Amino acid sequence: MSDSVSLRDITDFAEDLATEAGELIRRERDKTTLRTEYKYEAELVTHADIMADEFITSAIQKRFPDHRILSEENTPDLSQAENLETPLWIVDPIDGTVNYAYGHPQVAVSIAYAENGRVQAGVVHAPFPGETFRATRGDGATLNGNPIHNSGATVPRDSLFATGFPYTKDNLAPLVNRLNAMIHECRDLRRIGSAALDICWVACGRLDIYYENVSPWDFAAARLIALEAGATAGHFSEVPEGYPADLWGRDILISAPAIWEPIRQILRSASGYE
Protein backbone atom coordinates (compact mmCIF):
# COMPACT_ATOMS: atom_id res chain seq x y z
CA MET A 1 0.00 0.00 0.00
CA SER A 2 1.28 3.46 -0.86
CA ASP A 3 2.34 5.61 2.08
CA SER A 4 -0.15 8.24 0.91
CA VAL A 5 -3.10 5.86 1.21
CA SER A 6 -4.27 5.11 4.75
CA LEU A 7 -6.22 2.08 5.90
CA ARG A 8 -9.17 4.40 6.43
CA ASP A 9 -8.88 5.42 2.75
CA ILE A 10 -8.81 1.74 1.80
CA THR A 11 -11.97 1.09 3.83
CA ASP A 12 -13.72 4.11 2.30
CA PHE A 13 -12.79 2.88 -1.18
CA ALA A 14 -14.09 -0.62 -0.38
CA GLU A 15 -17.34 0.83 0.94
CA ASP A 16 -17.86 2.90 -2.20
CA LEU A 17 -17.28 -0.17 -4.37
CA ALA A 18 -19.58 -2.36 -2.28
CA THR A 19 -22.34 0.25 -2.36
CA GLU A 20 -22.12 0.68 -6.13
CA ALA A 21 -22.01 -3.09 -6.66
CA GLY A 22 -25.05 -3.37 -4.41
CA GLU A 23 -26.98 -0.98 -6.63
CA LEU A 24 -25.95 -3.03 -9.65
CA ILE A 25 -27.29 -6.27 -8.22
CA ARG A 26 -30.48 -4.57 -7.05
CA ARG A 27 -31.11 -3.35 -10.60
CA GLU A 28 -30.39 -6.76 -12.08
CA ARG A 29 -32.86 -8.49 -9.75
CA ASP A 30 -35.56 -6.00 -10.68
CA LYS A 31 -35.39 -7.17 -14.28
CA THR A 32 -38.08 -9.53 -15.57
CA THR A 33 -35.76 -12.50 -16.05
CA LEU A 34 -32.78 -13.23 -13.80
CA ARG A 35 -30.08 -15.06 -15.75
CA THR A 36 -28.77 -18.08 -13.84
CA GLU A 37 -26.47 -21.04 -14.45
CA TYR A 38 -24.42 -23.53 -12.44
CA LYS A 39 -20.71 -23.83 -11.72
CA TYR A 40 -19.03 -26.99 -10.44
CA GLU A 41 -22.32 -28.74 -11.39
CA ALA A 42 -24.10 -27.81 -8.13
CA GLU A 43 -23.41 -24.18 -7.22
CA LEU A 44 -25.80 -21.54 -8.50
CA VAL A 45 -24.37 -18.39 -10.09
CA THR A 46 -26.21 -15.47 -11.68
CA HIS A 47 -25.22 -13.02 -14.37
CA ALA A 48 -25.28 -10.36 -11.64
CA ASP A 49 -22.52 -12.23 -9.76
CA ILE A 50 -20.28 -11.96 -12.82
CA MET A 51 -21.16 -8.33 -13.50
CA ALA A 52 -20.57 -7.23 -9.91
CA ASP A 53 -17.30 -9.17 -9.69
CA GLU A 54 -16.02 -7.58 -12.88
CA PHE A 55 -17.04 -4.11 -11.67
CA ILE A 56 -15.26 -4.49 -8.32
CA THR A 57 -12.10 -6.19 -9.57
CA SER A 58 -11.61 -3.78 -12.49
CA ALA A 59 -11.92 -0.80 -10.13
CA ILE A 60 -9.35 -2.30 -7.74
CA GLN A 61 -6.96 -3.08 -10.61
CA LYS A 62 -7.27 0.46 -11.92
CA ARG A 63 -6.50 2.12 -8.58
CA PHE A 64 -4.04 -0.45 -7.21
CA PRO A 65 -2.44 -2.21 -10.20
CA ASP A 66 0.23 -3.88 -8.03
CA HIS A 67 -2.27 -5.51 -5.68
CA ARG A 68 -3.57 -9.06 -6.05
CA ILE A 69 -7.25 -10.06 -6.05
CA LEU A 70 -8.96 -13.22 -4.80
CA SER A 71 -12.56 -13.11 -5.98
CA GLU A 72 -15.19 -15.82 -6.08
CA GLU A 73 -16.17 -15.52 -9.73
CA ASN A 74 -13.24 -14.08 -11.71
CA THR A 75 -10.12 -15.10 -9.75
CA PRO A 76 -11.02 -17.92 -7.33
CA ASP A 77 -7.42 -19.17 -6.95
CA LEU A 78 -7.13 -20.00 -3.24
CA SER A 79 -3.33 -20.18 -3.48
CA GLN A 80 -3.44 -16.38 -3.57
CA ALA A 81 -4.13 -16.45 0.17
CA GLU A 82 -0.75 -18.09 0.82
CA ASN A 83 1.23 -15.42 -1.04
CA LEU A 84 2.08 -12.78 1.53
CA GLU A 85 4.39 -10.64 -0.61
CA THR A 86 1.87 -8.11 -1.92
CA PRO A 87 -1.47 -6.76 -0.65
CA LEU A 88 -4.51 -8.92 -1.37
CA TRP A 89 -8.15 -8.00 -1.91
CA ILE A 90 -10.74 -10.69 -1.15
CA VAL A 91 -14.06 -10.18 -2.94
CA ASP A 92 -17.45 -11.87 -2.92
CA PRO A 93 -19.74 -9.95 -5.31
CA ILE A 94 -22.89 -11.67 -4.04
CA ASP A 95 -22.72 -13.65 -0.83
CA GLY A 96 -26.05 -15.45 -0.65
CA THR A 97 -26.57 -16.13 -4.35
CA VAL A 98 -29.36 -18.64 -3.74
CA ASN A 99 -31.16 -16.06 -1.59
CA TYR A 100 -30.65 -13.56 -4.38
CA ALA A 101 -32.09 -15.87 -7.01
CA TYR A 102 -35.13 -16.66 -4.84
CA GLY A 103 -35.88 -13.05 -3.96
CA HIS A 104 -34.74 -13.18 -0.34
CA PRO A 105 -33.19 -10.03 1.16
CA GLN A 106 -30.24 -11.68 2.96
CA VAL A 107 -27.66 -10.86 0.29
CA ALA A 108 -24.33 -9.08 0.69
CA VAL A 109 -21.36 -7.66 -1.17
CA SER A 110 -18.17 -8.47 0.75
CA ILE A 111 -14.80 -6.78 0.20
CA ALA A 112 -11.72 -7.28 2.39
CA TYR A 113 -8.17 -5.97 2.16
CA ALA A 114 -5.22 -7.91 3.61
CA GLU A 115 -1.51 -7.27 4.11
CA ASN A 116 0.90 -10.07 5.01
CA GLY A 117 -2.02 -12.46 5.45
CA ARG A 118 -3.87 -10.25 7.95
CA VAL A 119 -7.12 -8.57 7.02
CA GLN A 120 -6.82 -4.85 7.68
CA ALA A 121 -10.09 -3.51 6.30
CA GLY A 122 -13.48 -5.03 5.60
CA VAL A 123 -16.87 -3.95 4.28
CA VAL A 124 -20.06 -6.01 4.02
CA HIS A 125 -22.93 -4.22 2.31
CA ALA A 126 -26.46 -5.64 2.31
CA PRO A 127 -28.22 -3.71 -0.49
CA PHE A 128 -31.81 -4.78 0.10
CA PRO A 129 -32.16 -3.72 3.75
CA GLY A 130 -29.65 -0.91 3.12
CA GLU A 131 -27.14 -1.96 5.77
CA THR A 132 -23.39 -1.42 5.56
CA PHE A 133 -21.05 -3.06 8.08
CA ARG A 134 -17.43 -1.90 8.05
CA ALA A 135 -14.24 -2.11 10.06
CA THR A 136 -10.65 -0.93 9.90
CA ARG A 137 -8.24 -2.88 12.10
CA GLY A 138 -7.90 -1.19 15.47
CA ASP A 139 -10.68 1.31 14.77
CA GLY A 140 -13.84 -0.55 15.83
CA ALA A 141 -16.79 -1.73 13.76
CA THR A 142 -19.88 0.13 12.60
CA LEU A 143 -23.29 -0.47 11.03
CA ASN A 144 -24.39 2.48 8.89
CA GLY A 145 -21.89 4.62 10.74
CA ASN A 146 -22.97 3.63 14.26
CA PRO A 147 -20.65 1.59 16.52
CA ILE A 148 -21.65 -2.04 17.05
CA HIS A 149 -20.74 -4.66 19.65
CA ASN A 150 -21.32 -8.38 20.06
CA SER A 151 -24.18 -9.66 22.22
CA GLY A 152 -22.09 -10.44 25.29
CA ALA A 153 -23.79 -13.84 25.64
CA THR A 154 -22.48 -15.79 28.62
CA VAL A 155 -23.84 -19.35 28.32
CA PRO A 156 -24.47 -21.61 25.31
CA ARG A 157 -27.99 -22.54 26.49
CA ASP A 158 -29.19 -18.96 26.00
CA SER A 159 -27.34 -18.46 22.70
CA LEU A 160 -28.65 -18.26 19.13
CA PHE A 161 -26.38 -19.77 16.50
CA ALA A 162 -26.10 -19.81 12.72
CA THR A 163 -24.37 -22.13 10.30
CA GLY A 164 -24.64 -23.29 6.70
CA PHE A 165 -24.31 -26.36 4.51
CA PRO A 166 -22.46 -27.09 1.26
CA TYR A 167 -24.08 -27.40 -2.15
CA THR A 168 -22.63 -30.88 -2.57
CA LYS A 169 -24.28 -33.45 -0.32
CA ASP A 170 -21.77 -36.31 -0.30
CA ASN A 171 -20.29 -35.74 3.17
CA LEU A 172 -23.03 -34.38 5.38
CA ALA A 173 -22.66 -36.76 8.35
CA PRO A 174 -20.06 -34.67 10.25
CA LEU A 175 -22.13 -31.52 9.73
CA VAL A 176 -25.29 -33.23 10.98
CA ASN A 177 -23.41 -34.43 14.07
CA ARG A 178 -22.35 -30.88 14.83
CA LEU A 179 -25.84 -29.55 14.23
CA ASN A 180 -27.34 -32.19 16.52
CA ALA A 181 -24.93 -31.26 19.31
CA MET A 182 -25.48 -27.53 18.92
CA ILE A 183 -29.28 -27.80 18.81
CA HIS A 184 -29.21 -29.68 22.11
CA GLU A 185 -26.80 -27.25 23.80
CA CYS A 186 -28.02 -23.85 22.50
CA ARG A 187 -31.22 -21.83 22.35
CA ASP A 188 -31.95 -22.28 18.62
CA LEU A 189 -30.64 -22.15 15.05
CA ARG A 190 -31.02 -19.51 12.35
CA ARG A 191 -30.22 -20.43 8.74
CA ILE A 192 -29.73 -17.09 6.99
CA GLY A 193 -27.95 -18.19 3.80
CA SER A 194 -25.10 -15.64 3.76
CA ALA A 195 -21.96 -16.35 5.75
CA ALA A 196 -20.90 -12.71 5.59
CA LEU A 197 -24.20 -11.58 7.13
CA ASP A 198 -24.20 -14.42 9.67
CA ILE A 199 -20.87 -13.13 10.98
CA CYS A 200 -21.89 -9.47 10.83
CA TRP A 201 -25.01 -10.39 12.79
CA VAL A 202 -22.75 -11.89 15.46
CA ALA A 203 -20.85 -8.60 15.38
CA CYS A 204 -23.96 -6.54 16.09
CA GLY A 205 -25.62 -8.95 18.54
CA ARG A 206 -28.41 -10.37 16.37
CA LEU A 207 -26.71 -13.75 16.72
CA ASP A 208 -24.38 -15.12 19.39
CA ILE A 209 -22.49 -17.82 17.45
CA TYR A 210 -21.51 -18.71 13.90
CA TYR A 211 -19.56 -21.77 12.66
CA GLU A 212 -19.06 -23.32 9.23
CA ASN A 213 -16.60 -24.39 6.50
CA VAL A 214 -16.38 -21.58 3.95
CA SER A 215 -14.04 -19.87 1.47
CA PRO A 216 -12.03 -16.72 2.24
CA TRP A 217 -14.31 -14.48 0.17
CA ASP A 218 -17.29 -15.56 2.30
CA PHE A 219 -15.88 -14.47 5.64
CA ALA A 220 -12.68 -12.38 5.39
CA ALA A 221 -14.34 -8.96 5.68
CA ALA A 222 -17.00 -10.03 8.18
CA ARG A 223 -14.48 -11.74 10.45
CA LEU A 224 -12.60 -8.48 10.93
CA ILE A 225 -15.89 -6.67 11.56
CA ALA A 226 -16.76 -9.21 14.26
CA LEU A 227 -13.34 -8.94 15.87
CA GLU A 228 -13.56 -5.16 15.91
CA ALA A 229 -17.00 -5.52 17.51
CA GLY A 230 -15.41 -7.45 20.38
CA ALA A 231 -16.28 -10.98 19.27
CA THR A 232 -13.82 -13.87 19.42
CA ALA A 233 -12.83 -15.53 16.13
CA GLY A 234 -10.84 -18.69 15.60
CA HIS A 235 -11.17 -22.33 14.61
CA PHE A 236 -12.26 -25.53 16.33
CA SER A 237 -9.63 -27.54 14.45
CA GLU A 238 -6.03 -26.75 13.66
CA VAL A 239 -4.95 -24.19 11.07
CA PRO A 240 -2.22 -25.59 8.78
CA GLU A 241 1.21 -24.31 9.71
CA GLY A 242 2.15 -21.28 7.64
CA TYR A 243 -1.37 -20.56 6.40
CA PRO A 244 -2.83 -17.17 7.41
CA ALA A 245 -5.45 -17.81 10.09
CA ASP A 246 -7.39 -14.77 8.88
CA LEU A 247 -8.02 -16.55 5.57
CA TRP A 248 -8.39 -20.20 6.63
CA GLY A 249 -12.06 -21.14 6.28
CA ARG A 250 -12.27 -24.67 7.60
CA ASP A 251 -14.00 -25.09 10.96
CA ILE A 252 -14.25 -21.40 11.70
CA LEU A 253 -15.99 -20.30 14.89
CA ILE A 254 -16.98 -16.73 15.75
CA SER A 255 -18.96 -15.86 18.86
CA ALA A 256 -19.38 -13.68 21.90
CA PRO A 257 -16.16 -14.09 23.94
CA ALA A 258 -17.54 -15.83 27.03
CA ILE A 259 -19.06 -18.72 25.08
CA TRP A 260 -16.32 -19.22 22.49
CA GLU A 261 -14.37 -21.90 24.36
CA PRO A 262 -17.44 -23.90 25.52
CA ILE A 263 -18.81 -23.88 21.96
CA ARG A 264 -15.40 -24.85 20.60
CA GLN A 265 -15.39 -27.89 22.87
CA ILE A 266 -18.92 -28.87 21.81
CA LEU A 267 -17.96 -28.69 18.13
CA ARG A 268 -14.65 -30.51 18.60
CA SER A 269 -16.38 -33.35 20.44
CA ALA A 270 -19.16 -33.61 17.83
CA SER A 271 -16.52 -33.67 15.09
CA GLY A 272 -14.54 -36.47 16.70
CA TYR A 273 -11.48 -34.23 17.17
CA GLU A 274 -11.19 -35.30 20.81
What pLDDT is recorded for position 38?
Answer: 58
Return the closest-CA partner of residue 34 out of 23, 43, 45.
45
Angle, vertex CA 127, rays to CA 144 and CA 44, nearest 5: 140
What pLDDT is recorded for position 96?
Answer: 94
User: For residue 242, how many other CB atoms are within 10 A of its CB?
Assistant: 8
What pLDDT is recorded for position 37?
Answer: 60
What distance in Å separates the CA atoms of residue 198 and residue 189, rounded to the nearest whole number?
Answer: 11
For residue 44, is pLDDT > 60? yes
Do 170 and 194 touch, CB atoms closer than 8 A?
no
Starting at the edge strand found earlier in the chain, the sheet holding 209-212 runs 188-190, 160-162, 209-212, 252-255, 232-235
* Angle formed by the axes of helices 7-30 and 47-63, nearest 10°: 150
Q: What percent of the chain has pLDDT over 90?
A: 81
pLDDT, averaged across the chain: 92
What pLDDT is recorded for position 152?
Answer: 98
How many angstroms from the chain centroid is the CA of residue 36? 22
- What single letter denotes the amino acid at residue 115? E
Which domains does the chain show, CATH number per domain? 7-147 (3.30.540.10), 156-271 (3.40.190.80)
* pLDDT confidence bin for 33, thresholds 50/70/90: low
Q: Could you tell me what percentage of the chain is helix, strand and coil, using 3-state DSSP and rounding each to the nearest 5? A: 40, 25, 35
pLDDT digits (tens, 9 = 90+) for 75-113: 777 778 877 889 999 999 999 999 998 999 999 999 999
Return the closest-CA partner of residue 189 out of 168, 215, 219, 165.
165
Range 209-231 average pLDDT: 97
For residue 265, is pLDDT > 70? yes
Q: What percent of the chain has pLDDT over 70?
A: 94
> What does pTM read for this prediction?
0.94
- What single letter denotes the amino acid at residue 140? G
Angle, vertex CA 176, rays to CA 171 and CA 182, nearest 5: 145
What pLDDT is recorded for position 72?
Answer: 81
For residue 165, is pLDDT > 60? yes
* pLDDT confidence bin for 29, thresholds 50/70/90: confident
Q: Which of 163-167, 173-177, 211-215 has the lowest mean pLDDT?
A: 163-167
Q: Which of 11-25, 39-53, 137-151 has the lowest mean pLDDT?
A: 39-53
Range 53-66 average pLDDT: 97
What pLDDT is recorded for position 47?
Answer: 86
pLDDT digits (tens, 9 = 90+) for 224-263: 999 999 999 999 999 999 899 999 999 999 999 999 999 9
What pLDDT is recorded for position 174?
Answer: 93
